[in-house]
Amino acid sequence: MSQAVNYELEGSVGVITVDNPPVNALSLEVRKGLLEAVSAAQDDASAALLIICSGRTFIAGADITEFGKPPMEPFLPDLLNTIEASKKIVVAAIHGTALGGGLETALAAHYRCALASAQVGLPEVKLGLLPGAGGTQRAPRLAGVKAALDLITSGNPIGARVALELGLIDKIVEGELRAEAVAWAHELLEQGAAVRKSSEQPVPDFDAGIFDSYRATLAKRAKGQIAPQHIVACVEAATNRSFEDGLNVERELFLDCMKSTQSAAMRHLFFAERQAAKIDDLPKDTPKRAVESVGIIGGGTMGGGIAMSFANAGIPVTLIDIDDEALARGLAIVDKNYGASVKRGKLAAEKAAQCRALITGSTDYASLSEVDLVIEAVFEDPELKKTIFARLDSVCKPGAILATNTSYQDVNEIAAATKRPGDVIGLHFFSPANIMKLLEVVRAEKTADDVLATCMSLAKTIRKVPVMSGVCYGFIGNRMLQPYFREAQLCLIEGATPEQVDNAMEEWGMAMGPIRVADLAGIDVGYKARQALPEDKRGDPRASRVADVLAEMGRLGQKTGAGFYVYDPETRKHENDPAVIEIIEREAAAFGIERRDIPDEEIVDRLIYGLVNEGMRIVEEGIAQRPGDIDIVYVYGYGFPVSRGGPMHYADAVGIKRVYERVCEFQDRFGAEAWAPAPLLVQLATE
């Protein structure tokens, strides 16, 4: 028998143990071992079978090392059909997580028990796939159509007690899992329990309109993605076809997903996220500093969101602001956010109260004397930041990590304001910081290895996705935004409307168009940043003129009720404003620009290839360790569609040569300097 699967008799129960660390993935060896064990047990002295796993978890899914390789027999659907067809009852005992093929394995068993701490789920949709081993057919028969659709289209795990309520498992086990599961199997035998095939259970009654409803909802929530729609079709097949026919539908649509560019993109992101957490030149045994308390300077929206991120992870926070009035406003923002989380059902009231109690306020820097990490989150004034860091030098204990949340500023210059530059690092959170998952970890020239290692690890503690960036203006994400927004603004002045630019990008897959993003962020943000730069560093004046005019008029975006659009004060719904079109036309005439009709395809290519071209420079300069890091930044921080895999993966998918040719075309049409192909792009396109 396979070394990854063990078999032994315990009383009348044949115990099949999967032992394939670290997560008992369904590798070829595991599949072979399970098939051999179940088949052999049909003719031995056992009266029942128990499938259980050693180590920290039940089967947590497919073997990721087999992704992209030709499948080898035994195929998982065939294995699970063999398990379900056993003439002896089969019990699955779950601990840790039963995910993907792991849960499908459990659903093929006849009875299921789990520790209360266990979680189960079918996360394939997050890889652009669907459960391909009967999960879409067995789950609705056991849990009902709505529960199955929610579970499979979200990809999110649920706890064992919820799974029990839904009928996905039959029993919560207290105590030692193996002993209790074996005892339960013996009880089932004593009770004369029969083989109970999930495939033969009738689907519980459901609302006839549920499938159309989910299709419409998913068309908005997962715009353009094929896997969620295929999942609905599979679950619907479970209600109106035989189990065998439903499996055929599932197999056909699974293969359609598997060969799609969308799944390739999402699988790329799966691996890129794990790779981004690794620092190439940082030894694996680098020690980490303890972070058991945090101080945050600046109690605005950003500072409050950062405070919540740490408090939600159980880490006490001291929030510092300039005076009592400012501090009260900051804490009120925190209270409002926790209240909203409770109201939306995202957080239990008791949990919210516990987290809120971890956040205390102060106007005295001395309150930071014993914290392990300080994060400065004041507005983007470089001199103010340097002053704050110089002050922290005299206040904070030796070994405290000093971090800046700056979006653009030079972290090396900020570090130089202290006598401990090795303790200084950039931690660029994204707004709203208590929700957005991305964290750019900015490594300055003198940042100590243990500071970097600590912050990369700490990011995971507060449930962020860390990506390391080197020091440059705007780091990875905001630096790349410059050509993106430049081209959006140039498209406006050359002939497009705000609505056309936004719709083109949103139809392509961006979560929000660039003009709406500018209104949401505040037009004054970019205006102030430009005004702080020397004139020769402000870029093409045509690309900022309309935004500058709006800012000088006090039209700052949503917060003032008008920017590129006008906004309903209650719903914040936007409407087009003819006055803005007049401004655009006037400024175009002032520059001598004859406005024209611009195809949506040109808008998309200019904005996206602008991102890619700058991304190439960022990789070449070593600001990002690898192209996949840029993809993670843009998917988690900037609303880039997961189904396209990030800007750098997208460039690979459409073809680097095509990107290069289009960039060269834009260089000829729109400007030699702005569209100069990055050397790395030239190299890759001509190899």
The set of catalytic residues is 104, 124
Find the helix packing angle between 226-240 and 243-258, rounded to 10°.
170
Q: Retrieve residue 167's tokens.
A: 């009928």
Secondary structure class of 207 (helix, strand, coil): coil
Q: How far apart are CA 498 and CA 589, in angstroms?
A: 18
Query: By the 8 A CB rule, do 191 and 151 touch?
Result: no
Query: By the 8 A CB rule, do 657 and 683 touch?
Result: no
Q: Retrieve residue 302's tokens.
A: 């950003």
Angle at alpha carbon of residue 416, lines to 415 and 420, rounded to 5°: 65
Count of C-beta atoms within a 10 Å radius of residue 249: 19
Count of C-beta atoms within a 10 Å radius of residue 574: 22
Put residue 509 in one of left, alpha, beta given phi > 0 → left and psi -120 to 50 → alpha.
left
Q: Retrieve residue 327's tokens.
A: 């501090």
Concatenating the DSSP letter of every residue in 277-304 gives: T--TTS-TT--------EEEE--SHHHH
CA distance readout (Å), 334 to 330, 338, 341, 358: 7, 6, 11, 12
Q: How far apart are CA 115 and CA 176, in angstroms?
A: 9
Task: Please name the residues in contact with 543: beta carbons below 8 A apart, sequence gap of 6 or more.
Answer: 485, 486, 487, 489, 490, 493
CA distance readout (Å), 641 to 152, 436, 510, 634, 644: 20, 15, 6, 9, 6
Query: By the 8 A CB rule, do 638 and 611 touch?
Result: no
Residue for token pair 């719903």 = 571
Find the helix packing angle between 514-521 and 477-494, rounded to 10°.
110
Q: How far apart are CA 430 and CA 418, in angstroms?
A: 25
Secondary structure class of 462 (helix, strand, coil): coil
Concatenating the DSSP letter of every residue in 641-676 gives: -GGGT-HHHHHHHH-HHHHHHHHHHHHHHH-TTTTP
Query: By the 8 A CB rule, do 18 and 56 touch?
Result: no
Locate all alpha helices (DSSP H) within 317-361, ordered by sequence: 324-343, 349-357
Q: How far apart are CA 575 and CA 593, in angstroms?
A: 26
Query: By the 8 A CB rule, do 441 and 459 touch?
Result: yes
Count of C-beta atoms within a 10 Å radius of residue 207: 9
Count of C-beta atoms within a 10 Å radius of residue 159: 14
* Backbone torsions φ then ψ of 197, nearest 5 degrees: -85, 125
Q: What is the CA radius of gyration of the chain?
A: 28
